[in-house]
Structure 1
Amino acid sequence: MAENKKVSTVSFFNSRLTSVISIALVLFLLGLILLMGLLSNKLSVYVKENIAFSILLKDNQKEADIKRMQKSLDALPFIKSTEYISKEQAAKELEEELGENPETFLGFNPLQASMEVKLHSEYANPDSLKLIEKQIRTYTSVTDLLYRKDMMEMVHNNMKRVGIILLTLAVVLMCISFVLISNTIRLLIYSKRFLIHTMKLVGATPGFIRRPFVRYNVISGIFASILAILMLTGALYYLQNELKGFIQILDVQSLLIVYAAVLGLGILLSVVATIFAVNKYLRMGVDKLYYI
């Protein structure tokens, strides 16, 4: 009797451990997709907000007029930051790049004073830039605008493409995850199918029958989520050691969102899969239970 109880306990532990590990692996993959999505979004914002364009200014502008214009630009909702570059500073930067001052062989400074402007990420796209350019050209001090339109279009299109790919992967993986978790839970409940039928015969309601199975698998889902979070943390630690500065792209709030999403998905998928699995056996007649 004691030996049978011991075998039953070991079997129960092994089945639960297998279930937790299976669900954890699926949640780990889901967490990776979520992290990749957040990373791509952070990188997109970083790249877009660091692509500057130059506003070329007319010569002989008064310093007070330039400061007034810069203050006006900084107040615009789509501009993140501005930096004034004088003719002398522009010549110095060119000298550092070329190794020779243009005034030495030309006899004068051919460069114009300019205003380096960086936009907020949501405005750094081709459609918004057309409207922004039109508005900036209304300033009387402006002679021209210089920016890499092709680069901005490339960044915008590539980030959009990456977003669609990651969203598609997330949806596909979510469906696969539900199927895998559902099959894992169904196998656990399979051995209890006659118990479910017996409870149904004695008048137990479907909700009463489902409750212990849901509670059992919610606990398994929580353990699986914790294991998946530990695996994600280990993966991030490894990436940080291999790619210095990698972890700085993700802030603590973003990581907490991913961890909370993994925990929530672990519980949600476990509950939904359990309800589907138990309902399957609730609808079956006793004769079918012997042939599945």
Structure 2
Amino acid sequence: MSVKEKKFKKKKLGSYPFVSVIFSITLALFVIGLFGLLVILTDKLTQNIQENVEMQVFLNKDLSNNEVTKISKTLSSKDYVYVKNEIPQVTTITKQEAAKQFIEETGEDFVSFLGDNPLRDVVVLKIKPEFHLSENLAEIKKEIATIRGVYEVTYIENLVNSINENLAKISVVLIGFSLILFLVVAILINNTIKLALFSQRFLIRSMQLVGATSTFIQKPFLIRASLYGFISGVLAVAILGVLLYFANTKIEGLSELQSNDKLLILTGIILVLGTVVGFISTFAAIKKYLKLSLDELY
């Protein structure tokens, strides 16, 4: 008759169920990464909207081509004009071009009917986002109106004010929500690690009883927790990458709202956040167990 021996798995210092820990931390980091991705897309969309705020400068009818060109160059040199790829975003639309465009869109040749082109040459300039406050735009309008040859300066004031108000509201909401989300994620990761370490509390006490120092006890836990946090960050980034790739194939123009630099920064934040929060939560939990009495451990 054979004797069956029961084999008990020996607990190792610093080890605890890693699957549940990594799953929980990955889920938490994925949520904060998803919100970070939303912030990046919102920021890029906001930037695109702001870059397209235009001011139209209507010129006098009796100006020569050289005078029109001179006014255009003068406006291009202003510090409030938006510059893209080192090119000032200033466009001149002649009255002939404007008439041609109007005829193509409406199908009515008003020039032949009137015997003259009543339109004016227009210089359209895009304004830098930092000059979008109503006071700044009013000052710019006043300054341009003093340039010789300028007949009138216009921009859609109500639209600009509406954009500024909505952007301010969105910024407040995003900042508030990000702080709350960060706090929730930090608490979730902290509680997950505390629960995982709960099964190790008696092993920690045993190490204390045989004379192990606090540093010796903490070291394997901290290394493992940091590693789990980093792995969770990698998994969260991978899931986000797959989700973003799938979204780009389904939503037209979504890729244009993404910034590779900001996506790299978000990746770094997720990896660092997983590692740091895992380390700090483990350090706090072990420190707590090291101070508890035997009765309190039960």
TM-score > 0.5, shorter chain as reference: yes
Could you tell me whether the CA contact under 8 Å between 1:210 and 1:278 is conserved in 2? Answer: yes
Residue type of the partner of 1:283?
K
1:4 matched to 2:8? The reply is yes
- CA 1:179–1:84: 2 relative to 1, 3 Å: same
2:92 is matched with 84
1:250 matched to 2:241? The reply is no
Distance 1:59 1:203 in 2: 95
1:259 is matched with 267
2:244 is matched with 236
1:17 is matched with 19
Q: TM-score, normalised by structure 2?
A: 0.89
1:220 matched to 2:224? The reply is no
The number of equivalent residue pairs is 286
Which of 132, 135, 140 is equivalent to 1:124? 132
**Which whole-Å deviations, capped at 9, do the CAs of 1:209-245 have from their partners, x for residues lacking one?**
3222111111101110011001101110121121022
Which of 108, 114, 120 is equivalent to 1:100? 108
1:167 matched to 2:193? The reply is no
Give the Å deviation of 1:207.
Answer: 3.6
Distance 2:291 2:147 in 1: 74
Distance 1:248 1:211 in 2: 46
Distance 1:131 1:202 in 2: 77
Q: For 2:170, what is the secondary structure of its paired residue?
A: helix
**Which whole-Å deviations, capped at 9, do the CAs of 1:42-66 have from their partners, x for residues lacking one?**
1111111112221011111122222
**Which whole-Å deviations, capped at 9, do the CAs of 1:268-291 have from their partners, x for residues lacking one?**
11112112211221232221111x
**Which whole-Å deviations, capped at 9, do the CAs of 1:104-128 have from their partners, x for residues lacking one?**
3323212111101112222233232
Q: For 2:8, what is the secondary structure of its paired residue?
A: helix
Residue type of the partner of 1:127?
E
**Which whole-Å deviations, capped at 9, do the CAs of 1:9-41 have from their partners, x for residues lacking one?**
9xx68x201110110111011111111111111
RMSD: 2.0
Could you tell me whether the CA contact under 8 Å between 2:60 and 2:120 is conserved in 1? Answer: yes
Give the Å deviation of 1:69.
Answer: 1.9
Q: For 1:143, what is the secondary structure of its paired residue?
A: strand
- CA 1:202–1:126: 2 relative to 1, 3 Å: farther
- CA 1:66–1:205: 2 relative to 1, 3 Å: farther
Structure 1 gaps of 5+ residues are none
Distance 2:101 2:268 in 1: 48
Give the Å deviation of 1:182.
Answer: 0.6
Give the Å deviation of 1:202.
Answer: 4.6
Distance 1:101 1:160 in 2: 45
Give the Å deviation of 1:205.
Answer: 4.1
Distance 1:3 1:61 in 2: 98
